[in-house]
Structure 1
Amino acid sequence: MQLDRWHQIKDLFSSALEHPTAERSAFLDRSCGEDIELLAQVRSLLDAHESSLGFIERPAVERAGLAPALEPLNWQGRRLGNYRIISEIGRGGMSHVYKAARDDDQYYKEVAIKLLRPGLDTHSLLQRLRDERQMLAQLSHPNIAQLLDGGVTETGAPYIVMEYVEGQPIDAYCEERGLSITSRLDLVRTLCGAVHYVHQHLMVHGDLKGSNILVTRSGVVKLLDFGIAKLLNAASDPSHTMVNQVVALTPAYASPEQIRGEPITTASDVYSLGVLIYKLLTGTLPFEVPGELFGWEAAAAVGDRPPRLPSVAAAESNAPAYRRIARQLRGDLDAVVMKALSKEPEDRYGSAEHLAEELHRYQRGFPVHAHPPRPLYRTRKLVMRHKAATVAISLFAVAIVTGVVTTAWQAHVARMERARAERHLAEIRKLTNTYLRDVYGAAVNLPGATEVRKLLVENSLKHIAALEGEAQDSLDFKRELAQAYLRFGDVQGDYLGANIGDTEGAVQSYRRALRLREQVAEQSPTVTDLSDLLRSYISLSELLAAQSKLDEAIPLAESANAVGKRLVAMPDARSEDHRMAAAAQMLLGTDLSTVDLPRALATLRSAQETFERLLAEQPEDPGARRDMALIHSRIGFAHIRAEQYEPALEHYLKSSDYAEQLAQEYPADAAALRGAAFVGVNVGEAYNHLKQPDPALEKIQVALSRVEHLQRTDPANEQATLAIAYVLNHLGDSYLLKGQPETALIHLNRALQLVNEAPPAKPTDIAEIRMLPGMTNFRLGKAHSMLGEQHQRDAATFLQSSVMRLQDLTNDPVIGKDAQRLTDQARQLLQDVS
């Protein structure tokens, strides 16, 4: 073929790449006119480009019959900068990859070097290689092939020097070793973590497939080839659309919107992950797209039809190994994979992280979100995990069902025998409350107890809601229902105790309890009913304040304080009523700490006086000592908000004295251990603010051992896991103050792993949970910045992530000041490391 003919083909090919996929056919028809041969050759190049298998597959020019005109230079033995080429390890449609070694006087290291194929040095393709190099420069992750260096050849073409990965494509690796389903899913979950990391840096990979994911001999996953990746225009488009259209893809792994040439999002990578899981579990692809098709033709070949279920594909496989596991794929794994492969992006998992979490739920035997949430399904999953826990739930279910049936019958009888019916209803309510208390209490320390509590709440709330309609004018019934709702709220989201992490559900339960108790107190303003009303005000206000909803929390605290004053003025008020009134003052003072410090401190000191008087009356009462621990902790918190660290430390130490006594006396009491742990962290935080890391470490390390014990007791409790990450953050902060960033990184990396494995923080979560991701990334960035020049890129990555996560919290009424302080420090450090 003549050289000028090749230049014509190359220029037309480059121009076609500048057009969106859907418009290329029309462009080529106009440009080629009657030259059918030219059209076929350019289409062949585009075909190979579209169906590319990464940078180590059969070159597009060979498929077009142009290989003789594009023979690569013989790079073996030649040098690029400080690197000597050893051998070619792969070639792709657009590039060659060589194994090389750095062999200057500094050190020896094997690397991979990626170069554009000769003759393809058009402006657009050169820019794509530069873009890929820039993207890789922003990424530093153990499961992503690392960019090491870069430069230009003697002809001015850019090249990329990357980490040399000696491994197999993930599908071949699994196939050769005959890995179990669990082992394959473990690899995918690791890969999801790397993909989520890419997405956090506002990029999509765009070409996830087996050959771009290598697994080393030691089982380490490495994600390769960002040649298609594009930055997300997150600032201007909240839907995360692409700045530019993707110009290459692998049809068998590409999402429907990607094949159609439409703007793609992170959901497109989730789809490709779904294809990969399908391949690893069945040995085949969900759709076999012919290699000669691309763009709209590939989309038409796939159509709107769904793929076969993975279990069906495995059962019909020619390989006995896949036929043997087909039964295990039915149900949950079928549902998970099909959700990832949904035709519409919004129907897939919201992120790669959510997909990883779903796979983890399957592996641990928990219900998956992709499966229809039928009660029978959830119960079956529970039975499979915990037979002992199932016994408790079964007893509870029997009691509830019996109670509901009997209640319905008695409601019918009540018209004739109202007094007798109410006596029976009281007995049923007593039985129900006993089960709520005893079954829940017995389940707290069972393995998987959090899931037991969650199932208990979900099923019980339905029955309680049904009973509410029977309350009518019965004050006793309303009192019992309110008490039940309050207990449910505690189980759902009492952030000071063990809970299932459903803070919004807890708010709704607390609101129902408050509404019922307001009705009761209006008709029966007795000491008992006012005291119950006060408890409901406190529970709801405290949780709303923890969610930073001070505009609701403070008025409720004011109402609680008013009820408390009314209560203690009554002649038959008890010591417990005085304690609850002081608790209302403590709550109001805490809520005011951010907005009115003088009034907050005055209110808190008034509560302190009451608690001190009650303790003097009953010095051995554990409840009185717990109140003293709480009030000193809240006063310390108020001083922390005002950056008054010495008085804060003084009160935190007093709080710690009381909390430690309780923890020593009640070593099996989870609430006592939890309280002592967090007071210990408070003391450590105050010491850190005063630049005294040694006494801080002493307190925080004890706190860490306690929260780890609580997490081992209830491993499914996500709040306990995040508590560990919270304590590790303060431990890392102490080591940073000591000038020991290497030790700090050990704890902070563990904290980051725990944060990344947990579900993403929600706007309704408590402030500490919403702050945790940004705070962790900030301290990781700070630690790397202290380690010298070779860690500056990692420092910048973590600091940028912290700014992205924290800036949305700077207007928060509770944690906004802290978020702004860390954001300002992160931006200053970014300037220092850039």
Structure 2
Amino acid sequence: MAAASPGQAGMTRPSQTSVEKAAMEALEDALDQPSEERYDYLAKRSDLSAEVRELALDLLSADVQAIRTGGAGEILNSEEGPPPELPGYDIIRLLGRGGMGAVWLAQRNSRDFQHRVAIKVIKPGVFLDTMVERFRRERQILARLNHPNIAHLHDGGETDAGQPYIVMEYVDGSTLRDWLAEQSPDADQRLDLFVQIAEAVEFAHQNLVIHRDLTPGNVLVTHEGQAKLIDFGIARPQVEEGEISPPSRLSGLSLTPGFAAPERSQGIVSNTLTDIYSLGRILKVMMGTARDPELRAIADKAAANDPAHRYQSVGEMVEEIANFRAGLPVTTFAEGSGYRLRKFVQREKTLVGVAAAALIGLLIALGVTTWAYSRAEDSRIMAERRFDELRALAHFQLFDLYDQLDSVVGNTAARVELAGQSQGYLLELAGSRSDDPDLQMETAEGFLRLARIQGLPAFPNIGEPEMASENLGRAEEILRPLGGRGLNRAHTAIALLEAYRALVYAHAESKPPESLEAIARSYAALEKVPPSQRDWNWREARRMARMASLEWADLELATPMIVRYANLMERDLGDWPQERIGGYEYRTDQARISYYRAIAVHNRGTEEAYAEAVQQYLAADALFAALQKDYPNDPQTLYWRAWNSYYGYAAAATLEDDVTATRLLEQARASVERLLLIEENDNTLATFDERLREAQAEYYSNLGRFAESIDLMQGIIDGRARKAEARRNARSYSDLAYGRAIFGSIHRKAGNREEACDNFRQAETLMARLVQRDELAGYVEYLRPGVNANIALCDSGAAVEQLQPLSDQ
């Protein structure tokens, strides 16, 4: 065979650049593995050429020693090169260098203070984009983790040459393995250090960061015996339990048993339980040969192969170690009175020694004590079990069972009884005076849920507004102290509570200023939650704050505010989790946005605006109809569709579009009638039904059917007058004033001058009373100029034909 020409040989032999690129890609994959498994991973890559694999292993060997967060020791090689120039820092010497970059010891040259730091600089021109991104991600993660046992991030940025860098705390100490070998610490010193490590990991978890590479090599120990957790280069945000990572070149390789959890080999994305497994393995290393059975049990549970059998939080593991050190029973190790008795004797050695002279008496007393202790423990366990069952039952009734019954026609009595039972359970939970913040939060959230069920205006409820207000107060008593302690979940719940309270002030009590203040408090509470902690519950609270804002603006005819918050509500949809887009809540908000936009157009009050508003109401009705089809008898959908149809009827009737007006009015009546079958005790629905009959009376008057109109409206006025006499609150006076104004308008069209003038005067008397109390709502105030203009005409002796329609004033 003829020899290949130089050109042909060049075509078959990979260039040095391609070898370096392939080696860097393999190194990138290796860096996604736990540090103690990276060599084995590269060695088993059969898809790599020997030249690429050898270069990748060389790069990894250099970087494992050199590119470590914070630095531990001084490992140098021959490629020292010039140090970078970083403003504010004086480079002292090179600590280590590898194929990916270098770590330099430096000193801050500020006049205010001086301290030594380790500066980690990425090597230019070699890194893949993903590796640069990994470096930047590590910098972002460390910026969130300010803890005494995590190497601190001081600064970061890019050099003039475009090299990313991190300025870290310089840790002058040893790796965990070296510290164990050099210091030969006793058991207490080992456990002290392990607790420091665990608390650092727990802090990272609380900040939604998974380390993913916990090994003895990634723990440094200072000369003072302080642990420093390092190397967050492959850390990730937390993900949902059981989520599967996307397939990659790594998924087909088995992982060497070590500090990585076994589920890593299955492609499952790391979570907190992954780090807990690694902590269990580290604890076994730290115990050495002197292994206490109880500590071994703790380590074994943490490092269980099945994630479900591990501690479910780092805090649980730390608590078990604290029990062991205090001589208390370790629940993981054993159960039973014999083990508990042995632990008791170990804790009380002095007492047992003093009593040794009276051994028989001691045995008798100990037997009695053990029996009493066992009985007390049994009673305590039974009480705790009942309390936990009560807690679970209250949650199930309020958040699961009630939702299942909510859309079933004919079970109002059952739901009222269910709410009553839940009220008792919540009062018992609140009376426990527990210091457990989780229990306190569950109880407060239960009161909020119950308040909404009992009597939250603008939503279907079982008609117990007084109980609803009381439960809002009970929830607030629990939540304010928790919010004062900085609990984000409490701030979210306070935001929801204030939005509920705003709806009560706006609808039930006709107190617009108080409602607006509650809305402001709701948004203030939302802002207290950091962006990284804003979960779905936070978004639900924001939805309710938007709803309260829009309802206030609707009642006060504040059209610019309606437009503003409809736009904000639409913008909010853009940051919803992907899995919720297109779901029930998402579609409901889309329909509501269309409804509120129609109201804003309607409020402009021109013929063109009414025509445009009718089309917008019909578009919203189509969205609500689609929801009603997919969620039959859903109370919220029926409720909002009824309001949309009611307002749409008003716009169509103003245009004298009898066909559309009739259709929308019938749709509103049908929705309310269906709701009354579901929520027959709902006073809000009863008021709404009354409002629809009022609209029907106006409609009859527009058609010239005055006898029917007057008869229907007289019944409404009589009912409202009885309510006003009984309740004497702003809402009842407002509804009666509005009704009197409408009744005056009906009599005007019917040609009944005296009746028209009398109703206008009674309407103004009620409005003046509301003004004195600073409780005149916008929808009533809107009619007042027309009412007063007609009163003036009445007083001047004008004929009934000279009286004006209210909308013309």
Smaller-chain TM-score bracket: 0.3 to 0.5
Pair member with larger Rg: 2
Tell me the TM-score normalized by structure 2.
0.45
